[in-house]
Amino acid sequence: MPMLFPPNRISGAEFEFEDRIYKLPLNEPKTGCFVHGTMHETEFTVSKLGDAEITLYFEATKENPYLTFPHTFSIQVKYALSEEKLLQTVSIYNKSDTNMPIGVGFHTTFDSKDCNSFRVRACIQKEFLRNEKYLPTGEYQTDNERIRSLNSPDGYDTKKELSALFKLGNSHLITVQRADNIKINYRLDEKYKYLMIFNTGSSGEYVCIEPQSWISNCPNIDNREKYGFTYIRPDETITYDMSISAQSNNL
């Protein structure tokens, strides 16, 4: 479940907030975008370890900043395993003296290579159309074959190729139904309002379900607060939760 911080693409690898220009590494030259960041490659410290839980900690300081991000902040990620589920809690604390823009996502990957059928259900409100740089065009669809399938009881057959950006509806529960009668429930915090789903079609071995708190390129979109843009005030914390559980239909 690698963390995307900030998630997905930012055009030109920069944006403006409170009269400050945020310049990020242009790490996708073919599109001229910043994409996903490097938090998923960053070393965390184990701050707590128990029989069925672990807490990880990262701190960005002036001496050891996160990329070119100008804020000092900390991230705590806790995983707790019970008989019912795996619970993940992410807490981000703004240690700087200015408001800190925040966008979070995860690139959660499910193994589908040994399943003849691997179907995903989600409450989808709309699909955003994207251009050749994979950025939202401003247009969207509320009814197409993908939306109908994802919203249906049978779900979307991920053996068909899929790469799409969606707005979630009222429910933030994603359900994966495997051919072996195992059902996986991926329950998202309501702060994760957007969802990328990506696979490689019938020849693929995985399905990526990518919740994100803001839409792709959100900081550069007009009326960006409508699409998930938010910030953390100095000395404040924002927390995101999600859980994964599984059940067998044979029981």
pLDDT band per the 50, 70, 90 thresholds, residue 160: confident
Residue 19 placed within a domain: yes
Per-residue pLDDT for 130 more than 70?
yes
pLDDT for 216 equals 96
Q: In angstroms, what CA-CA distances link 116 with 158, 181, 248?
A: 10, 11, 17
Judgement on whether residues 157 and 111 belong to the same structural domain of the protein:
yes
User: For the CA atoms of 226, 38, 1, 171, what is the dihedral angle to 10 degrees?
Assistant: 0
What global pTM score does this model have? Answer: 0.93
Judgement on whether residues 126 and 73 belong to the same structural domain of the protein:
no
- Type of residue found at 66: Y
- Average model confidence (pLDDT) across the chain: 94
Judgement on whether residues 92 and 21 belong to the same structural domain of the protein:
yes
Judgement on whether residues 76 and 110 belong to the same structural domain of the protein:
no
Judgement on whether residues 135 and 77 belong to the same structural domain of the protein:
no
Q: What average pLDDT does the segment 74-96 reach?
A: 97
Residue 45 placed within a domain: yes
Split into its structural domains, the chain has a count of 2
pLDDT for 202 equals 64
The answer to whether the beta carbons of residues 241 and 189 sit under 8 Å apart is yes
How many Å apart are CA 219 and CA 103, to the nearest integer?
9
Judgement on whether residues 179 and 201 belong to the same structural domain of the protein:
yes
What 8-state DSSP symbol labels residue 97? S
Residue 182 placed within a domain: yes
**CATH assignment at residue 2:** 2.70.98.10
Q: What is the pLDDT of residues 189-232, one digit of tens each?
A: 999 999 999 987 666 688 999 999 999 999 999 999 999 999 99
pLDDT band per the 50, 70, 90 thresholds, residue 116: confident
Q: What average pLDDT does the segment 86-91 reach?
A: 98
Judgement on whether residues 236 and 195 belong to the same structural domain of the protein:
no
Judgement on whether residues 84 and 125 belong to the same structural domain of the protein:
no
Domain range for residue 158? Answer: 105-212
Strands 194-199, 163-168: pairing is antiparallel
